[in-house]
Chains A and B, each alone.
Chain A
């Protein structure tokens, strides 16, 4: 598409701008709302920034919403961060190792193992939530970071992704390493892992956001307030009996909740795009 048609150019830009507005608008409203006093936004939507920004964010970070559990947002974000990172590290470690085993080792029932892993793609967390809960509860992992992360760690998607990547790595590379005297694990760490760098980055971003945005599972598995994650926290702030909903505080929390994923995306952007687009060999 290297056509040069001015009106087409204008049209495509217009479409893009429209799309961006659609996406940005709710975020803008949230940002604006978070800078007003609670009373100002009870009935209307404010179009422009108010004056309470510092105060609102200060409140949120230090005390949280007093009449809704009153957990400081900082603590919730810390919980979310640990959960997200736990899921990311766990998922990547397990999936890259299982993909390594499936691609490079000939063991009995290898195909079966792969397809079993692949099958779990069809069973998202929500489907297996009750049995998983029972297992976690029996193991005494309720209200713990282990309980939050462990059941979400097994990942067919990531395993599949790594498998596909490993299969594009020329077989001769593994053979050259064998001739060079590198055992399987040495080959994995010295050659396969560095080659997977961009894939790792892409998966890190995707899985971090996945982990950060977990809602249902943390809601079920945690009851103690000190284990609340930020996504649950936002929800809890909305429904408070016998009090005015403090939208400004809620929105401030929402904006804060957006920051870490945003940061991860910005920091890893280049590697991320490379990992999705390019197969570097």
Chain B
């Protein structure tokens, strides 16, 4: 059991390429933190720095109050699951799991006991004599996890462990990882680019973009109050409608185009009136309603009927703004329709135009 604290971690690669611009986070004991962001945002680099596979240019990493910047990976008491599993191809499942323990000079009978216990948890008991190439993708994934678990480390590090699996297996393994992490209660850092994985797994998310922290928060915080435009666009599917708007002079209306306006709850609104802003509306928060209650109309252009939802694409009437709307269930709308829409004002997100920072 352990805490992990990262303070102002900076990574600069040779040639003065800065991959990380000062990342800080305190991870509580037993917490599952998901680092999420688009590819190339530095999330894997961050994880590898905690693992000790990447040197820390500046900043401090503590595991359980112990400064580990200069420690070898093996001495940090961490275990890592790699994206391609990195199982030793010539060793059996048993040997793969036992290798780390053997290097730590743990007595043979104890190794045997621990490997068997872990294999039982992961339902690998019948596969212990097999070689990795005789296993399916999901089984390999479980062996890779077994190799981490058997070490009984202070911290688990997962580097996109599910991205090589097919969609169905991914969902299944996702649940399994969550269950396992809760059962073992080991502090975990999990890297992924998949926002669904991040939302379902993490106790807290660390959203990264271009080597910077965009937001740290629980999945719901991140969804309901994205602190930056980037987070707003990244989390949620289909992604948030982001359109330019102008705040009315008294600050309680957002003006779209020439004639459209949406009422705002301006209590916590910190923007100046009359200023240009960016308005965010999640597709699932836009509601179809009767014409007289509508605050806007959508000229429907395309439909995706998914059964559980109907996703509608179209242009806002009197503007050139393109919107995506997710209506629950099967909606009778057809393309060419004029769809009346409304949105509760608490679901409007307002961002500053230049910095992308949240205003309300």
- A residues adjacent to B (C-beta < 8 A): 170, 172-173, 175-182, 186, 190-191, 194-195, 197, 280-281
Residues in A with CB closer than 8 Å to B87 are 176
Question: Which among A173, A178, A182, A186 is the interface contact of B53 at CB below 8 angstroms?
Answer: A178
Residues in B with CB closer than 8 Å to A180 are 74, 99-100, 103, 147
- Interface contact B104-A172, CB-CB below 8 Å: no
Question: Which among B72, B84, B100, B147 is the interface contact of A172 at CB below 8 angstroms?
Answer: B84
Closest chain A residue, CB of each to CB of B132: A281
Q: Assuming the A-B contacts A170-B84, A186-B103, A190-B99, are A178 and B74 also in contact, with contact meaning beta carbons closer than 8 angstroms in the complex? A: yes
- Interface contact B100-A195, CB-CB below 8 Å: no
* Closest CB in chain A relative to B326 CB, distance in Å: 39
- Interface contact A173-B78, CB-CB below 8 Å: no
- Interface contact A179-B84, CB-CB below 8 Å: no
- Interface contact A173-B86, CB-CB below 8 Å: yes
Closest chain B residue, CB of each to CB of A191: B88
Q: Answer whether residue B168 sits at the interface, using C-beta atoms and an 8 A cutoff.
A: no
- Interface contact B82-A172, CB-CB below 8 Å: yes
State which residues 63-84 of B face A: CB under 8 Å. 72-74, 78-80, 82-84
Q: Answer whether residue B89 sits at the interface, using C-beta atoms and an 8 A cutoff.
A: yes
- Interface contact A195-B82, CB-CB below 8 Å: no
- Interface contact B89-A179, CB-CB below 8 Å: no
Q: Answer whether residue B51 sits at the interface, using C-beta atoms and an 8 A cutoff.
A: yes
Q: Assuming the A-B contacts A178-B73, A181-B74, are A170 and B103 also in contact, with contact meaning beta carbons closer than 8 angstroms in the complex? A: no
Given contacts A172-B82, A176-B80, A178-B53, list 9 more A-B pairs with CB under 8 A: A175-B51, A175-B86, A176-B87, A179-B74, A180-B74, A180-B100, A180-B147, A181-B74, A194-B90
Residues in A with CB closer than 8 Å to B78 are 179
- Interface contact B82-A175, CB-CB below 8 Å: yes
* Closest CB in chain B relative to A21 CB, distance in Å: 42
Residues in B with CB closer than 8 Å to A197 are 90
Question: Which among A176, A186, A190 is the interface contact of B86 at CB below 8 angstroms?
Answer: A176
What separation, in Å, do the CA atoms of A170 and B89 have in the docked complex? 11
Q: Assuming the A-B contacts A179-B79, A180-B74, are A195 and B90 also in contact, with contact meaning beta carbons closer than 8 angstroms in the complex? A: yes
Q: Assuming the A-B contacts A175-B82, A281-B89, are A182 and B72 also in contact, with contact meaning beta carbons closer than 8 angstroms in the complex? A: no
What separation, in Å, do the CA atoms of A179 and B78 have in the docked complex? 7
Q: Assuming the A-B contacts A191-B88, A194-B90, A280-B89, are A179 and B99 also in contact, with contact meaning beta carbons closer than 8 angstroms in the complex? A: no
